[in-house]
């Protein structure tokens, strides 16, 4: 590296601005939770972190500190059209006024809030690293189908580096013309403090889904598989649904239609999910698309076997130890058979669950993930972004 280039060898040189449109609290989706955990870990590693978000609820403060993370919120008009026109000015006012308080911008998802920040950051001469949070119809191919979708992708490509959490996501970015050498491949992480042993010895098998009640999660396959479980399993089992969403009424109607309501419990929003998961036996997520599911990491950390689909980074998350319980998205019968094996075999559940917990400790510690991000930030700030792919997680090599 040339001696004329700035040096950012020390973590104290990094002043990071996280950009998350709907940051906690009370927003607690997987993306928001992951960005919060990463922010906390980066701060513990001596990084100056600030978060820029939208003021989604009037009850939210313009600024606050949560778990040591400084959060700043800009106005978020409820009227979508007004929001589109007002946001650029609100964001520019914040970014310009505080331009000496940050030297790199980390964008955590696509959407106009984030894209406005990318444009304004480039105008102000600030480097940007942008995370690709999803794949398929919920990733870049889906964005390209939207009105102004190609423009959105062109703005995304202005980022000095993209963060990919799966091979699929990387392929999608390269297909759109982004240089693979500038893609940093890493995984979501989780605090090892959340790890709990799963020692449920009850005869009742408790299966749990955690996430938004959204069509992306393919509840139709889940409930059809569950009906087959109820018809064919010799073991009494209950399916717990932890989460909220617009499909709440629709899903409850489907459960009644399939005549499985007695064995399905809708709990809505559940606090302290990471602490309560150890009371469960099996974690399920039959999604059509995922990036790097934070919910799966929580299930693994609780010592639960994972029954899911081969989308996004899921296969990398569960590894060889959990691959036998991964099916194609939409393959209801295979999903059912994988789940049935675990429902009917407590010993198998515990063996696979232990393997998941060990895998979390080896590969998904948030402290290790944050240190990998720090190396990426240092490369970008030193104008050494070419071949940032050399920092890719060993899970992708």
pLDDT the model gives residue 194: 54
Tell whether 311 is covered by a domain. yes
Residue 49 neighbours by CB under 8 Å, 6+ apart:
16, 18, 39, 42, 43, 69, 70
pLDDT the model gives residue 304: 96
Please indicate, yes or no, whether residues 161 and 217 belong to a single structural domain of this protein.
no
pLDDT the model gives residue 165: 92
Tell whether 3 is covered by a domain. no
Mean pLDDT over 284-294 rounds to: 92
> Which pLDDT band, with edges at 50, 70 and 90, does 2 fall under?
very low
> Which pLDDT band, with edges at 50, 70 and 90, does 5 fall under?
very low
pLDDT the model gives residue 9: 59
Tell whether 250 is covered by a domain. yes
Tell whether 306 is covered by a domain. yes
pLDDT at 244 over 80: yes
pLDDT digits 0-9 by tens, 155-194? 999 999 999 999 999 999 999 999 999 999 999 999 886 5
Q: Is 32 exposed, middle or buried (0-12, 13-18, 19+ CB in 10 A)?
A: buried
pLDDT digits 0-9 by tens, 383-393? 888 889 999 99
pLDDT at 305 over 70: yes
Query: Token digits for 379?
Result: 């490369």
Of all residues in the chain, the percent with pLDDT exceeding 90 is 80
pLDDT digits 0-9 by tens, 307-363? 999 998 999 999 999 999 999 999 999 999 999 999 999 999 999 999 999 999 999
Please indicate, yes or no, whether residues 225 and 165 belong to a single structural domain of this protein.
no
Please indicate, yes or no, whether residues 170 and 40 belong to a single structural domain of this protein.
yes
pTM of the complete model: 0.89
For 72, the domain range is 11-189+365-396
Mean pLDDT over 42-52 rounds to: 96
pLDDT at 196 over 80: no
Please indicate, yes or no, whether residues 161 and 266 belong to a single structural domain of this protein.
no
Please indicate, yes or no, whether residues 301 and 260 belong to a single structural domain of this protein.
yes
pLDDT digits 0-9 by tens, 73-130? 999 998 989 998 999 999 999 999 999 999 999 999 888 999 999 999 999 999 999 9
Please indicate, yes or no, whether residues 96 and 142 belong to a single structural domain of this protein.
yes
Mean pLDDT over 40-59 rounds to: 94
pLDDT the model gives residue 357: 95
Please indicate, yes or no, whether residues 160 and 267 belong to a single structural domain of this protein.
no
Residue with more model confidence, 58 or 210: 210
Token pair 């989604």 is found at 56
> Which pLDDT band, with edges at 50, 70 and 90, does 28 fall under?
low
Q: For residues 46, 52, 55 and 60, what is the CA-based torsion angle, rounded to 10 degrees?
A: 10
Residue 313 φ/ψ, nearest 5 degrees: -95, 15
The CATH number linked to 372 is 3.40.50.2000
Strands, E, within the chain: which ranges? 15-19, 48-55, 63-66, 69-75, 104-107, 128-131, 161-164, 183-185, 205-210, 237-242, 264-268, 282-285, 306-309, 326-327
pLDDT digits 0-9 by tens, 247-288? 999 999 999 999 999 999 999 999 888 889 999 999 999 999
Please indicate, yes or no, whether residues 175 and 43 belong to a single structural domain of this protein.
yes
Tell whether 5 is covered by a domain. no
> Which pLDDT band, with edges at 50, 70 and 90, does 35 fall under?
very high
Q: Show contacts of 247-256: CB within 8 Å, 24+ apart.
A: 247/213, 247/214, 247/215, 247/219, 248/213, 251/213, 251/219, 251/223, 254/219, 254/220, 254/223, 255/223
> Which pLDDT band, with edges at 50, 70 and 90, does 4 fall under?
very low
pLDDT the model gives residue 31: 87
pLDDT at 233 over 60: yes
Please indicate, yes or no, whether residues 161 and 38 belong to a single structural domain of this protein.
yes
Tell whether 339 is covered by a domain. yes
Mean pLDDT over 32-48 rounds to: 94
> Which pLDDT band, with edges at 50, 70 and 90, does 57 fall under?
confident
Average pLDDT, the chain: 92
pLDDT digits 0-9 by tens, 361-377? 999 999 999 999 999 99
Please indicate, yes or no, whether residues 183 and 268 belong to a single structural domain of this protein.
no
Tell whether 6 is covered by a domain. no
pLDDT the model gives residue 110: 87
- Looking at the structure of the chain, the number of domains it has is 2
Tell whether 97 is covered by a domain. yes
Please indicate, yes or no, whether residues 226 and 344 belong to a single structural domain of this protein.
yes
Please indicate, yes or no, whether residues 309 and 207 belong to a single structural domain of this protein.
yes
């Amino acid at each position: 590296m040339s001696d004329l280039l700035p040096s950012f060898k020390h973590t104290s040189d990094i002043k990071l601005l996280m950009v998350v449109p709907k940051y906690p609290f009370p927003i607690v989706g997987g993306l928001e939770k992951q960005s919060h955990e990463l922010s906390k870990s980066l701060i513990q590693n001596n990084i100056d972190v600030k978060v820029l978000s939208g003021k989604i609820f009037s009850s939210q403060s313009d600024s606050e500190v949560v778990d040591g993370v400084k959060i700043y919120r800009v106005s978020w008009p409820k009227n979508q059209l007004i929001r589109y026109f007002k946001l650029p000015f609100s964001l520019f006012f914040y970014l310009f006024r505080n331009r000496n308080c940050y030297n790199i911008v980390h964008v955590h998802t696509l959407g106009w809030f984030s894209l406005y920040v990318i444009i304004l950051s480039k105008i102000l001469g600030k480097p940007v690293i942008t995370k690709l949070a999803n794949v398929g119809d919920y990733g870049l191919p889906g964005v390209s189908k939207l009105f102004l979708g190609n423009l959105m992708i062109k703005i995304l490509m202005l980022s000095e580096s993209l963060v990919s959490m799966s091979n699929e996501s990387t392929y999608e970015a390269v297909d759109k013309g982004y240089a693979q050498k500038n893609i940093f491949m890493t995984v979501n992480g989780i605090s090892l403090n959340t790890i709990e042993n799963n020692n449920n010895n009850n005869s009742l098998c408790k299966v749990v889904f955690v996430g938004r009640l959204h069509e992306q999660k393919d509840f139709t396959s889940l409930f059809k598989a569950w009906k087959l479980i109820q018809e064919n399993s010799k073991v009494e089992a209950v399916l717990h649904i932890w989460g909220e969403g617009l499909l709440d009424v629709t899903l409850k109607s489907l459960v009644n239609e399939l005549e499985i309501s007695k064995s399905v419990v809708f709990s809505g929003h559940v606090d302290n999910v990471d602490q309560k998961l150890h009371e469960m036996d099996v974690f399920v997520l039959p999604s059509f698309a995922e990036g790097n599911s934070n919910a799966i990491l929580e299930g693994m950390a609780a010592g639960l076997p994972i029954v899911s689909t081969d989308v996004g980074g899921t296969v990398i998350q569960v590894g060889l130890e959990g691959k036998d319980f991964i099916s194609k998205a939409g393959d209801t019968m295979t999903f059912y058979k994988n789940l049935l094996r675990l429902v009917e075999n407590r010993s198998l559940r515990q063996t696979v669950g232990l393997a998941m917990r060990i895998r979390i400790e080896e590969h998904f510690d948030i402290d290790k993930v944050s240190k990998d991000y720090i190396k990426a930030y240092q490369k970008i700030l030193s104008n050494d972004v070419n071949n940032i792919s050399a920092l890719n997680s060993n899970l992708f090599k």
